[in-house]
Chains A and B, each alone.
Chain A
Amino acid sequence: KNEVEQSPQNLTAQEGEFITINCSYSVGISALHWLQQHPGGGIVSLFMLSSGKKKHGRLIATINIQEKHSSLHITASHPRDSAVYICAVRWAVGSGGSNYKLTFGKGTLLTVNP
């Protein structure tokens, strides 16, 4: 079982602030996803990474495989960034290395006030 912990659970920020959301996991993984879920429920995949760092617009995701830790950063936050951000880890189950599972964190509710 892979334990995925996200922090903080809730985060309130003022527009323009730099945001960091953290994710740690207990079992070695092949990839980590950062997802965004809006109030209506729809999920958007933001990043999939297995090492290093990725950047897309104001979003930056980093991962440290040795420390089993990833962070999602949002620069110059905006009210439209308000959503639940979910970390999900992809890891091998069983023997053989061909079956994978995606385990989700509980999410971080981000509210950005104008």
Chain B
Amino acid sequence: GAVVSQHPSRVICKSGTSVKIECRSLDFQATTMFWYRQFPKQSLMLMATSNEGSKATYEQGVEKDKFLINHASLTLSTLTVTSAHPEDSSFYICSASGPTGWQGARIQYFGAGTRLSVL
């Protein structure tokens, strides 16, 4: 089946630094990628949706200057948490779906997630 690889799985950083999380589709073209955030014991919350080559669409309340999303190719999207602060500590998960007409088009494939801890 389709695989989404997310890296790193865990990152600890100092307050004020920026952290980049990568999300790669390994065996399919990810025309759309989704970035989610999950707080302990909470549901996944969609942060933004990005289509390859286009600017990401952010959900209400998500700061686009804080969470920079780049989807420059059909297999890679990145989320950069800029000037991270302790309140940004969370579990970040990416997900990808393939092109319309592809057999797996309606399925979202999830990365394993990145646990960010900001000290």
Contacts and interface: CB of A to CB of B under 8 A. Distances in A.
Interface of A: 30-31, 33, 35, 40-45, 48, 50, 86, 88, 90, 101-102, 104-107
A104 B110 CA distance: 13
29 contacts: A30-B106, A31-B106, A33-B107, A33-B108, A40-B112, A41-B91, A41-B93, A41-B112, A41-B113, A41-B115, A42-B110, A42-B111, A42-B113, A43-B110, A43-B111, A44-B110, A45-B107, A45-B109, A50-B106, A86-B43, A86-B44, A88-B44, A90-B106, A101-B46, A102-B46, A104-B43, A105-B43, A106-B41, A106-B42
Contact of B34 (A42, A50, A102): A102
A43 B41 CA distance: 14
Contacts of B110: 35, 42-45
A43 B112 contact: yes
Contacts, number: 46
Interface residues of B, number: 19
Interface of B: 34, 38, 41-44, 46, 91, 93, 95, 106-113, 115
A104 B44 contact: yes
